[in-house]
Amino acid sequence: MALVQIDELDRELITLLSRDARVSNRKVASELGVTEGTVRGRIKRLQQDGLIAFTAITSFNTIDRSRLAFISVQADVQRVREIAREIADMPLINAVMITMGQFNILALCLFDELDYLIELASDRILAIAGVQHIETSIAVKTLKYNARMARITARAIQEDDEEAA
């Protein structure tokens, strides 16, 4: 992983925008004691470097698919990257990580009906060549989840927006 160079001002900017991204550059500038141009330039650089992205987060009761499942996969070690990619391309899958340990892939899925989950896990993921075993567990309670931190992918990066205000 590339070493990231960010300074104290970047950190303050990230903290401020992680509370509300729709504040004006002017307001951010006056709160941090810098010029609007500095704020604009810093935001642009952080976006270009893939360190921040601006997005909408909705609560579980806002969307239809409001249940979270953890699908743990034991996959053929030689094909683990391909298998992980294949799972990631499935529509209901929100996250896929390659891990070392008892399971070598963790897939997270937001679903609504149990039928969907069963179809996805048993009919689709288990059917992939090289998948030996899966274990599915359903989150019954979320005690903590920090959505302000993530892996930012190219898809999420948008640079052409004007400030919100």
Partner 1 sequence: MTQSIPLDAIDRKIIEHLRTHGRASNQQIAELLGLTATTVSSRIRRMEEANQLRVVAVSDFSAHGFNCLMRVMVEVDGRPASQVAAALAEFPEVFATHLVTGRYDIDMLVALHGLEDLPGLLLDKFSQVDGIRALVPSVVVDIVKYQFDVAPIEAKS
Q: Is 151 helix (H, G, I), strand (E, B) or coil?
A: coil
Residues 106-135 that bind partner 1 (CB under 8 A): 106, 110, 135
Torsion over CA: 58, 63, 66, 70 (sign): negative
Stretch that binds partner 1, among 9-17, 30-38, 111-119, 126-134 (CB under 8 A): 9-17
Work out which of 7, 33, 91, 101 binds partner 1, going by CB under 8 A.
101
Q: Are 122 and 140 in contact (CB under 8 A)?
A: no
Residues 57-96 that bind partner 1 (CB under 8 A): 57-63, 65-66, 68, 70, 81, 84-85, 87-88, 93-96
Q: Which residues contact 157 (CB under 8 A, 6 or more apart)?
A: 47, 48, 50, 53
In which residue are the tokens 């030689």 written? Answer: 78
Q: How far is the CB of 117 from partner 1 (least distance, A)?
A: 12
Q: How far is the CB of 113 from partner 1 (least distance, A)?
A: 16
